[in-house]
Structure 1
Amino acid sequence: LVQRVLIKPNIKGLEEEEEAPLPLLPLGLDFSRPWHNNFIKVKKKILPKLHILHPIMKNLLDFSYAAFSDFLIVDFSSFRLKGPVDCESLKTEVSLSCAKAEEKILNTWYQKVISLFSQKEALKGVKLYQTDSFFNCVSVLMSNQLKELLRRTVEAFVKLFDSEDRSYLPLFKMNLSLDEKKMELYPSFQDLEEGILFLVNRIGQTFQNIQTVRSWLAGGATTLDTELPNDVIELATSTLKKAIGENLQEPKAYFENYVDKYGWLVDGTAQARIERFEAEEHTFDEYT
């Protein structure tokens, strides 16, 4: 910041003139550079600890992209084509798909990762004191790739219930049953909602026991952090609950109307009327 001010010259005749005071600095502005030293200090700390620019990290990202870019843990495209399905059967199918996807990833992508970091050149340029931060960087990259795959799969599942596009909406079987003089649907609306939400949690349970590279190489038991963030689960759950509620409005209304019309036939009302009629005396015409 440059400030300019007129200074009274030493000229005869201006003795009575008063010099104006220097203007005050603008309030709230600080033109010092304390941040610069902090920046240099932090930069020096970061350089030996972050290894994202190491050539091997690029290789890891390259074949991770090739493996995951168009892959989902569960193929939801055929759900609608199957027609009405039993909720329990769907839960079993999704669980099997998650298990198969995890096995596939462990036998392909994960083996490539292990092979990559088993090479002598893997730690080229990494000093001994940088080993921990180097493998931490590897773990973070792997975790992010798997978390992103889980997130995309959950979002694809939630998308099936989009109220603006019902062309992929799954169809669920619901059986009308008579139990202890009551009309009920099986599964109940509550059980159906819980079954659908279960699928989100089941997807999120995939890849939860994958060893870090360093743990695998050293024979340890440390695993990658692949747990989905709470905000992803919460958003998926709230979106599904809203969609399920909207899609079940008509079935609920139909069921309630059905119970209103025919519930008296099974709740004991009809039987009581018959018994009362039989206990009374009636004419032949009334019996016929």
Structure 2
Amino acid sequence: MTGSFAKLLAATAATWALCTTAFADVTLPPESDPAARGLAIVEEMDARDRGWGDAYADLKMVLTNAAGAISERQLRFTMLERTGENEGDLSLMVFDRPLDVAGTALLTHAYVGKPDDQWLYLPAVKRVKRISSANKSGPFVGSEFAFEDLAAQEIGKFTYSWLRDEPCGDRECHVVERVPAYEGSGYTRQIVWIDTSDYLLRKIDYYARKSSLLKTLTISGYENYLEGIWRPRELEMSNHENGKKTQLIWQDYRFRTGLTENDFAPASLERAR
């Protein structure tokens, strides 16, 4: 996974974690060059999340509507790190419960310089549906995450500009604007908060095409794996327009389990259940 969060999700996501040890002090371009400074910040974040190979996690998805009613889903998430120049990471999400969504699966092949490939398997009709660029801004199975939110957030997918440094909770963060450079995004821009000390992603604000604040993703509960690979325990996406939110609670992380690209082939989707 290259990028940030989630490479989620994700990113994924793009959001998955970073190393706080074995890195020298970071020297950034001056504030007078916000584009170079913003790019350097995300490159440092990306450099601290390499070498994990593949990953597996169990997930609980908690959906809360505007009235406060809650529903839960259980799913599995796997990822494979790719290091090719124009290649992003591979990811697969498979729902296990409840029964009405069990077997539903989303496969993502992320890229740099061209649209990501995404396929959705719907067990009720036993059909694999390719997600077009025009539909990637739509909600994923009723959650507040869009399909594009669940693809690896590769550096080359955005342009960047440093805005400021400011407190974020009890920490200090770089605040960077990133503008999607890929086709079909539902966002005009995103504002990301990156910790100045450990370069962990803490928050993302998503702005819609009408330039209003649409959603906010908060990332919390980071834990250290593999002596320097950090992963969050919770992602919470809040929708400011409809009052809904979706939490992804990560459990039982495992790394270097032996996954290969064959495990992320579209033909494998029908066997994912």
Q: Which bin holds the TM-score, normalised by the shorter protein?
A: under 0.3
The structure that is helix-richer by fraction is 1
Structure holding more strand per residue: 2
User: Please, what TM-score do these two structures have when normalized by structure 2?
Assistant: 0.24
TM-score by length of 1: 0.23
